[in-house]
Structure 1
């Protein structure tokens, strides 16, 4: 037993709370009840069969005597042999017979019957229930089963005799007494063996649970590599161990992502802060002209804006991942929304020598969306496309819909993204070209924000790209 379980057992009232003790109690009680009912059932069956055997013997004797009195009433020797002599030849399960006439005069009797039985009591009991044999105690304490029957003599219903039969069942009583003693011994042995065996079974059964608990105790934020080896476990516990291991895999992956995220935040926050500090230190190193101070302030302002944008993006992502975050949906003309975003970024596109156009279907596309969030998502995609498309290229906005989904597509003819980088582009702070992104002031959060906005709308985002042939990002938004 583990240390925790042992400690609990030492506390008053805690021992019953352990799984091993509860399982042991369940096994022991179930086993004892099973043995008790099985043994008791066998005892009842044995008693019933012994009584049935005796009753059949008595019925057979009555039938023999009835036949003899009906067919051969004058064959006294045969009657005497059946009544007086046969019982004397038996060592065990002796029986006694009395034959009475209509006036209850004794015609024939087994020797020593009066020494074994209280005959008046015999007559009283036999007359109470003449259809079945009943139990009776002899003068020496022996157990008997007795019965009485009236039989016609010489096939004449007017003349009947009475047959009284008593069978000594002391041997059967001794057999039942021995069985009862064995029954007590078996129950006593079961009372000792079952708890011990049940405890061993319970301990062996919960050992995998203790292994899981031991593994869980070793897990911390700095040690997530522990795993449960489920080989040899029962199917249910093996499934639990596999689920536990998968949970640890997810936790380890989440912790690694958080660690990378924290490192990226520290790096991206440190860069503009260091730039502002460096500019200030250089400016204060000696006297400067007004124009030089203006240049320093402009540089510091650019870094402050970059820092503010980064903090704003991080706050947005934190709010978007909150379980309480819900988009404010209003009816939106998707074509009109894309046209507004295109106009906002058109100046930047023209400055870079890039064509920015919209290609909309003839039928207008309406949907209930959070206008501000969708504008931000599409704006991030256009900003990325313009930043990575060389002069002379093109960026095209498209929108279409069916009964279930609204699709907004932003495609460009830019430099494209390597295939190995596509699975990572939605990770925070990930940059395909780190040097260029830093130079252009990118934070690496644009696509992460797009993905968060799609999650808030219950949709998804897809990206397809080929180096040298451009990129296409599609937003899939549920129509309902």
Structure 2
């Protein structure tokens, strides 16, 4: 067998959720560290440049002040220009004072060897007091600036101050920072994917447990449940929803199993009766009357079987999304009155009082008349069967806002509380022996609920043993589905 003939291709690692989460963690961490390191680097660079510029501005201010207020203090100027820089171990600075003709008056020793004075003049031309980065004669990094200084308080002429500061130590500091920066990025690019993978695997482990539980579930094993102890909040909610779904599935499977057993039993009984009667009739010669008896009995069983199949087909129809109702305006009060008249004779024969009650005038709603008549018909016949002689069956309808309400009440034996949640289930019988004796199949209330659901309404039942039962139907007055 070739792979294309039935073997599924192996799952690709990069399509897994763990890989995607790992990649997301790694990328997010890498970007975050990069932004943090880059921000620190540019803050350090900006701080160093600002510190250098402030130092140069301070020196220029000192020299200007001395030239303006003490132009004859050559010893002070010489100390400031020629001697102070030599005392600094790091960040040497160099100053040259030029007269108005451009001839040097004072110069820091070794300035000509360290700084290219021609380049200095060219770079600072037209940019007074602006610091400019340049390279020195031996490759060192400098920041240079030029400024004019008034000589004397009268200001008869001005001198030119050229100043340069060695920032090689700052460059080395920045170089070390860049080295650490790239080392950290390299380490994070190796560590973050591994950490992200373990985090992703840990985070997706509950999902694997959910998947494992789902794989163990089958039509014969619906008791598996997910233990959400220790799950994250989102996955705990998912596990809870999954468990509730399994509860519903288990309940549905159990109901289907019971339904299958009940329908098999209910279909087998009339078929066996017909077969048994036919076999007895054919065992020996019979009179015409005896054959007639067998045929009449078989006909009764056939009618019962036909009714059961018809009810089952109707139930299937009510659950079909393709069913179309014949909508029309129906006077529900008149509908109930018509059903009362139809059942009046059987009720009197059973010794039961059958009456209707409608409050506030006629109740009109948009319904499928035939289906709603069948639903109420089922409720009335059911109430008559389960109400003893001398009892009462009452049909009532009223309007509750946009809803119409139909009640069928009886004073029968009632239904035990534990049976109430199941009365709308197919083939459910509160008293199986009594229902079989009366010809009931346990489909009446299921059909009622199906019809009401088609109208977008709801059916509910309340009962007290020994006092009676009330079935309530609620349907929107202008229902369309």
TM-score bin, normalised by smaller chain: over 0.9
Which residue of structure 2 aligns with residue 289 of structure 1?
Answer: 287
Once residues 359 and 49 of structure 2 are traced to their aligned partners in structure 1, the CA distance between those partners, rounded to angstroms, is: 98
Which residue of structure 2 aligns with residue 464 of structure 1?
Answer: 462
What's the offset of the Cα at 1:449? 1.0
Question: Is the aligned partner of 1:117 residue 2:81?
Answer: no
Which residue of structure 2 aligns with residue 4 of structure 1?
Answer: none
Cα 1:373/1:88, change in 2 over 3 Å: same
Which residue of structure 2 aligns with residue 81 of structure 1?
Answer: 79
What's the offset of the Cα at 1:199? 1.1
What's the offset of the Cα at 1:158? 2.5
Which residue of structure 2 aligns with residue 251 of structure 1?
Answer: 249
Question: Is the aligned partner of 1:181 residue 2:152?
Answer: no
SS of residue matched to 2:241: helix
Once residues 378 and 470 of structure 2 are traced to their aligned partners in structure 1, the CA distance between those partners, rounded to angstroms, is: 13
Once residues 205 and 241 of structure 1 are traced to their aligned partners in structure 2, the CA distance between those partners, rounded to angstroms, is: 14
The 5-angstrom pairing of residues 145-164 of structure 1 reads 145-164=143-162
Which residue of structure 1 aligns with residue 429 of structure 2?
Answer: 431
What's the offset of the Cα at 1:282? 1.5
Return the TM-score normalized by structure 2: 0.93
Once residues 360 and 302 of structure 1 are traced to their aligned partners in structure 2, the CA distance between those partners, rounded to angstroms, is: 38
Once residues 56 and 470 of structure 1 are traced to their aligned partners in structure 2, the CA distance between those partners, rounded to angstroms, is: 99
Once residues 413 and 367 of structure 2 are traced to their aligned partners in structure 1, the CA distance between those partners, rounded to angstroms, is: 31
Once residues 398 and 48 of structure 1 are traced to their aligned partners in structure 2, the CA distance between those partners, rounded to angstroms, is: 88
The 5-angstrom pairing of residues 266-281 of structure 1 reads 266-281=264-279
Which residue of structure 1 aligns with residue 26 of structure 2?
Answer: 28
Matched-pair contact (CA < 8 Å) for 1:389–1:414: yes
Which residue of structure 1 aligns with residue 215 of structure 2?
Answer: 217
The 5-angstrom pairing of residues 438-449 of structure 1 reads 438-449=436-447
The 5-angstrom pairing of residues 302-313 of structure 1 reads 302-313=300-311
Question: Is the aligned partner of 1:196 residue 2:194?
Answer: yes
Which residue of structure 2 aligns with residue 3 of structure 1?
Answer: none
Deviations 1:193-237 (A, max 9, x none): 111111111111111111111111111111111111111111111
What's the offset of the Cα at 1:297? 1.2
- Structure 2: gaps of 5 or more residues: 1-6
Which residue of structure 1 aligns with residue 67 of structure 2?
Answer: 69
2:98 alignment partner, one of 97, 100, 123: 100
Deviations 1:309-363 (A, max 9, x none): 1111111111111122343221222233223222332332233333333344573
Once residues 98 and 45 of structure 1 are traced to their aligned partners in structure 2, the CA distance between those partners, rounded to angstroms, is: 32
Once residues 83 and 266 of structure 2 are traced to their aligned partners in structure 1, the CA distance between those partners, rounded to angstroms, is: 120
Once residues 362 and 113 of structure 2 are traced to their aligned partners in structure 1, the CA distance between those partners, rounded to angstroms, is: 120
Which residue of structure 2 aligns with residue 421 of structure 1?
Answer: 419
Deviations 1:41-82 (A, max 9, x none): 211111111111111111111111111111111111111111
Return the TM-score normalized by structure 1: 0.93
What's the offset of the Cα at 1:9? 10
Which residue of structure 1 aligns with residue 166 of structure 2?
Answer: 168
The total of aligned residue pairs comes to 472
Once residues 358 and 100 of structure 1 are traced to their aligned partners in structure 2, the CA distance between those partners, rounded to angstroms, is: 123
Matched-pair contact (CA < 8 Å) for 1:85–1:110: yes
Which residue of structure 1 aligns with residue 369 of structure 2?
Answer: 371
Question: Is the aligned partner of 1:135 residue 2:133?
Answer: yes
Once residues 27 and 400 of structure 2 are traced to their aligned partners in structure 1, the CA distance between those partners, rounded to angstroms, is: 66
Which residue of structure 2 aligns with residue 343 of structure 1?
Answer: 341
Matched-pair contact (CA < 8 Å) for 1:8–1:18: no
SS of residue matched to 2:44: helix
Deviations 1:166-208 (A, max 9, x none): 1111111111111111111111111111111111111111111
Cα 1:48/1:353, change in 2 over 3 Å: closer
Which residue of structure 1 aligns with residue 402 of structure 2?
Answer: 404
Matched-pair contact (CA < 8 Å) for 1:8–1:15: no
Matched-pair contact (CA < 8 Å) for 2:151–2:158: yes
SS of residue matched to 2:156: strand
- Structure 1: gaps of 5 or more residues: 1-6
Once residues 127 and 454 of structure 1 are traced to their aligned partners in structure 2, the CA distance between those partners, rounded to angstroms, is: 96
Which residue of structure 1 aligns with residue 4 of structure 2?
Answer: none
SS of residue matched to 2:397: strand
Matched-pair contact (CA < 8 Å) for 2:327–2:366: yes
SS of residue matched to 1:380: helix
Which residue of structure 1 aligns with residue 203 of structure 2?
Answer: 205
What's the offset of the Cα at 1:479? 2.0
What's the offset of the Cα at 1:160? 0.9
